[in-house]
Amino acid sequence: MIKDFFKNNPVKRILMTSERNGSKNDNDTNKSNESMTSTTSPSMLTYSMLTNRRVLIDSITKLNPWYLAKQNPVMFTVEAGFFVVLAIAIFPNISTEFVSQNQIFYIEAAIILILTVWFATFSEALSEGQARARVDSLRSLEKEVSARKIVHGKEVTVTSTSLKPGDEVIVYSGEIIPRDGLVNEGKAFVDESMMTGESNPVFKEKGDHVIGGTKVASDKMVIEITAEAGRSFLDQMISLTQNATRPKTQNEIALTILLAGLSMIFITVIGTLLFLAYSLSYAVDIATLIALLVALMPTTIGGLLPAIGVSGITRLGRDNIIAKSGKGIEAAGDCDVLILDKTGTITEGSRSAIAFVPMQGYTEEDVGQAAFAASIHDTTHEGKSIVDLSEQKKFIPPLLEKILAARSIEFSAETRVSGIEFVASKKVAALNKEEEEEFREIARTVVNGKATDTIDRLEEDIDRASRSKVHDMLLDLEKTKESDEKEGKDQIRILKGAIDGVLKSAHPGVNVAELKWKAQEIGENGETPLAVSVGNKIIGLVVLKDNLKENIRENLNEVRSTGITTVMITGDNQLTAQVIAKEAGVDEIMAEAKPADKLKRVVEEQEKGHIIGMMGDGTNDAPALAKADVGLAMNSGTAAAKEAANMIDLDSDPSNILKVVKLGKQLLITRGAITTFSIANDVAKYFAILPAMFIVENPKLEALNIMQLHSPETAVLSTLIFNAIVIPALIPLSLRGVKFKPESPEKMFYRNMMIYGLGGLALPFVAIKAIDMVLTVFMG
Amino acid sequence: MTYVDTIIQTAVVLGGTLILAVPFGLYMARMISYEIRPLERTLAIVENKFYKLVGIDSNRQMTWKEYLFALLLVDGIVAAIFFIIVSTQNMLPLATPGLENFSIDLAFMQASSFITNTDLQHYIGDQQLSNLSQMVAIIFIMFVAPASAIAVSFAFIRAFIRKNFGLGNFYVDFTRIIITLLLPVAFISSLLLMVLGAPQTLESSLTVNTLEGNEQVITTGPVASLESIKDLGSNGGGFFGSNSAHPYENPNGLSNAYEIFLMLIIPLSLPIAYAKLVGKGRGVSLLIAILIGFGIAFAIALSQVSGPDLLETRFGSFGSIFFNIASIESNTGSANSALAGMSPNAVIALFLGMFVQAIPGAVGTGMMTMIIYVILTLFIVGLMVGKTPEFMSMKISPRDIKLSAIIFLVHPAIILIPTVLAFVTENVQAITEGEITPFTYTEVLYEFTSAAANNGSDYFGASADTPFWNWSTGIVMLLGRFVPLGLMLAIAGSFTLKDRKEVIEPIKTQGPLFISVLVVITFLLTALTFFPFIVIGPFSM
Amino acid sequence: MKRIKENNDGHPGRNHRGLYEDSIRNLFRQNLSPSIRVVILMMLIAGIAYPLILTGIGQTILPFKSNGSVITIDGKNGVGSVLIGQEFTSPEFLHIRPAAQTASGVDPHITPEDAFAQAANVSKATGIPINTIRTLIELNIERNRIENLIVFAPHYVNVLEVNMELVRQYPDVYAEYATGNISKQGGNA
More confident residue, A141 or B525: B525
Q: What is the pLDDT of residue B239?
A: 92
Q: In this model, does residue A596 exceed pLDDT 90?
A: no
Chain C, residues 141-170, CB within 8 A of chain B, namely 144, 147-156, 160, 163-164, 167
Lowest mean pLDDT among A118-127, A205-214, B293-302: A205-214
pLDDT at A50: 54
Tell me the per-residue pLDDT of A511-524, one tens digit each, with 9 for 90 and over: 888 888 888 888 77
CB-closest option in A280, A333, A745 to B507: A745
Question: Same domain for C85 and C53?
Answer: no
- Say whether both C95 and C123 belong to one domain: yes
Quote the strand ranges of B185-237, DSSP E.
Answer: 205-209, 215-219
Instruction: Choose among B383, B504, B530: nearest Cβ to A251.
Output: B383
Residues C149 and C172 in one domain: yes
* pLDDT score recorded for residue A538: 86
Least confident of A96-105, A106-115, A267-276, A440-449: A440-449
Q: Is residue C189 part of a domain?
A: no
Q: Are residues C177 and C126 in the same domain?
A: yes
pLDDT in tens, A339-387: 888 777 777 766 788 889 988 888 888 888 888 888 888 877 788 888 8
Contact B413 A268 (CB under 8 A): yes
Asked whether A and C share 3 or more beta-carbon pairs under 8 angstroms, the answer is: no
Query: Looking at the domain assignment, is residue C111 inside a domain?
Result: yes
Q: Tell me: pLDDT of A681 over 90.
A: yes
In a domain, C101, yes or no: yes
| A195-199, A224-228, A242-246, B68-72: range with lowest mean pLDDT | A242-246
**At what angle are helices B40-54 and C19-42 packed, to 10 degrees?**
120
Q: pLDDT per residue over A703-716, tens digit each?
A: 999 999 998 889 99
Residue C136 forms part of a structural domain: yes
Q: Is there a cis peptide before residue B360, judged by omega within 30 degrees of 0?
A: yes
In chain C, which residues have their Cβ closer than 8 Å to the Cβ of B245?
102-104, 107
Q: Which of B195, B209, B254 sits opposite C65 (nearest CB)?
A: B195
How many Cβ pairs closer than 8 A exist between chain A and B?
184
User: Does position A12 have pLDDT exceeding 50, yes or no?
Assistant: no
C121 shares its domain with C163 = yes
Nearest residue of B to residue C90 by CA position? B212
Residue A451, pLDDT score: 42
Q: What is the DSSP string of A488-535?
A: T---EEEEEE-HHHHHHTS-TTS-HHHHHHHHHHHHHTT-EEEEEEET
Encode B527-540 in three state secondary structure. Answer: HHHHHHHHHCCHHH
Q: Are residues C48 and C73 in the same domain?
A: no
Contact call for B528 and A264, based on CB within 8 A: no
Residue among C21, C28, C35, C89 with most chain B CBs within 10 A, to mutate: C35
* Comparison of pLDDT for B337 and A469, the residue scoring more: B337
Distance from C-alpha of A49 to C-alpha of A56, rounded to nearest angstrom: 9
Residues C133, C163: Cα–Cα separation, whole Å: 10
Reported as a single tens digit per residue, the pLDDT across B437-454 is: 999 999 999 999 999 999
DSSP A411-439: --TTT-EEEEEE--HHHHHHHHHHHHHHH
Clarify whether residues C74 and C124 are in a common domain. yes
CA distance A224 to A167: 6
Of B380, B501, B535, the CB nearest to A608: B501
- What band does A423 get if pLDDT is binned at 50, 70 and 90? low
Contacts of C188 in chain B (CB under 8 A): 203, 206
Averaged pLDDT of chain A: 78
Beta bridge partners of B216: B208
Confidence of residue A44 (pLDDT cuts 50, 70, 90): very low
pLDDT value at residue C8:
38
Q: Is B385–A279 a contact, with Cβ atoms under 8 angstroms apart? A: no
Rounded CA-CA distance A177/A437 in Å is 40
More confident residue, A203 or B60: B60
> Given A260, A276, A749, which is nearest B384 (Cβ)?
A749
Separation between Cα atoms, residue B361 and residue B358, nearest integer Å? 4
The residue among A97 and A307 whose pLDDT is bigger is A307
Can you tell me the ipTM of this complex? 0.95
User: Does C184 touch chain B if contact means CB atoms closer than 8 Å?
Assistant: no
CA distance B399 to chain C (A): 20
Residue B276's identity, in one-letter code, is K
What pLDDT, on the 0 to 100 scale, is given for residue A454? 52
List alpha helices for A335-450, DSSP H: 364-375, 381-392, 400-405, 425-447
Q: Which residues of chain B make contact with A752, given a CB cutoff of 8 A?
A: 381, 384-385
d(CA B225, CA A367): 99
Nearest-Å Rg of the Cα atoms of chain C is 30
- What does the pLDDT read at residue A429? 41
Kindly indicate the confidence band of residue B145, based on its pLDDT and cuts at 50, 70 and 90.
very high
CA distances from A58 to A77, A205, A288 (A): 20, 46, 30
Distance from the Cα of C19 to chain B's closest Cα (Å) equals: 14
pLDDT digits over A687-697, tens only?
Answer: 999 998 898 88
- Tell me: pLDDT of A186 over 80: yes
Which among A254, A264, A753 has the least Cβ separation from residue B401? A254
Question: Are residues C36 and C111 located together in one domain of the fold?
Answer: no
Q: Give residue B349's pLDDT.
A: 97
A82 confidence band (pLDDT: 50, 70, 90): very high
Percent over 70 (pLDDT), chain A:
79
- Which of B260, B185, B224, B225 lies closest to B28, judged by CA? B185
Backbone angles phi, psi at B390, to 5 degrees: -130, 150
- Residues of A identified as active-site: 341
Query: Same structural domain for residues C34 and C85?
Result: no
Q: Which chain C residue lies closest to B65 (C-alpha atoms)?
A: C27
Handedness of CA B131, B132, B134, B139 (dihedral sign): positive
Q: What are the CA-CA distances from residue B453 to residues A143, B340, B445, C4, C14 (Å)?
A: 67, 20, 12, 32, 44
pLDDT of residue A583: 85
Over residues B290-301, the pLDDT tens digits come to 999 999 999 999
Q: How buried is A207 (Cβ within 10 angstroms: 0-12 exposed, 13-18 middle, 19+ buried)?
A: exposed
At A425-456, the pLDDT tens digits run: 444 343 455 555 555 555 444 444 444 455 55
Surface of C (112-141) touching B: CB under 8 A: none
Q: Which residues have CB under 8 Å from C177's CB, separation 6+?
A: B211, B212, B213, C73, C167
Per-residue pLDDT band at A457 (split at 50, 70, 90): low
pLDDT higher than threshold 50 for residue A42: no
- Residues in chain C predicted with pLDDT less than 70, given as ranges, are 1-22, 178-189
Domains of chain A: 43-135+242-315+663-779 (no CATH), 164-228 (2.70.150.10), 353-547 (3.40.1110.10)
- Assign A542 to helix, strand or coil: strand
Count CB pairs under 8 A between chains B and C: 277
CB A449 within 8 A of CB A19: no
pLDDT at A406: 77
Looking only at the bridges linking them, the beta strands covering A492-497 and A528-534 are antiparallel
d(CA A8, CA B130): 106
Mark yes or no for CB contact C47/B212 under 8 Å.
Answer: no
User: What is the pLDDT at residue B117?
Assistant: 96
- Residue A497: pLDDT above 50? yes
In a domain, C50, yes or no: yes
CA distance, residue B400 to nearest chain A CA (Å):
8
Q: What is the DSSP string of A60-128?
A: HHTT-HHHHHHH-HHHHHHHHHHHHHHHHHH-GGG-SSS--S-HHHHHHHHHHHHHHHHHHHHHHHHHH
Q: Contacts of residue B73 in chain C, CB cutoff 8 Å?
A: 28, 31-32, 35
Query: What is the pLDDT, as a whole number, of residue A24?
Result: 38
CA distance A656 to A669: 20
Are C84 and C105 part of one and the same domain?
A: yes
Least confident of A170-184, A630-644, B26-40, B148-162: A630-644
Q: Are chains B and C in contact at 3+ CB pairs closer than 8 Å? A: yes
Mean pLDDT of B326-353: 95
pLDDT at residue A236, as a whole number = 66
pLDDT, one tens digit per residue, over B101-134 is: 999 999 999 999 999 999 999 999 888 999 889 8
Domain count along chain C: 2
**C56 and C87: one domain?**
no
Structural domain contains residue C176: yes
Q: Pinpoint the alpha helices (H) of A616-655.
A: 622-627, 639-644
CB contact under 8 A, B218 and C155: no
Contact check, Cβ <8 Å, C87/B210:
yes
Q: Residue B479: which pLDDT band, with cuts at 50, 70 and 90? A: very high
Read off the pLDDT of each residue in A155-182 and give the average, rounded to a whole number. 85
Q: Is the pLDDT of residue A550 over 60?
A: yes
Summarize the confidence of residues A561-576 as an average pLDDT: 81
Average pLDDT, chain B: 93
Structural domain containing residue C151: 67-184
Edge to edge, what strands does the sheet with A202-204 contain?
A202-204, A188-191, A215-216
Which residues are CB-neighbours of A28 under 8 A, at least 6 positions away?
none
Sign, CA dihedral B348-B349-B350-B351, equals positive
Q: Are C54 and C99 in a shared domain?
A: no
Q: Of the segments A33-42, A201-210, A312-321, C122-131, which one has the largest average pLDDT value?
A: C122-131
Residue of C nearest to B242 (CA): C104
Query: Is the Cβ pair B247, C97 closer than 8 Å?
Result: no
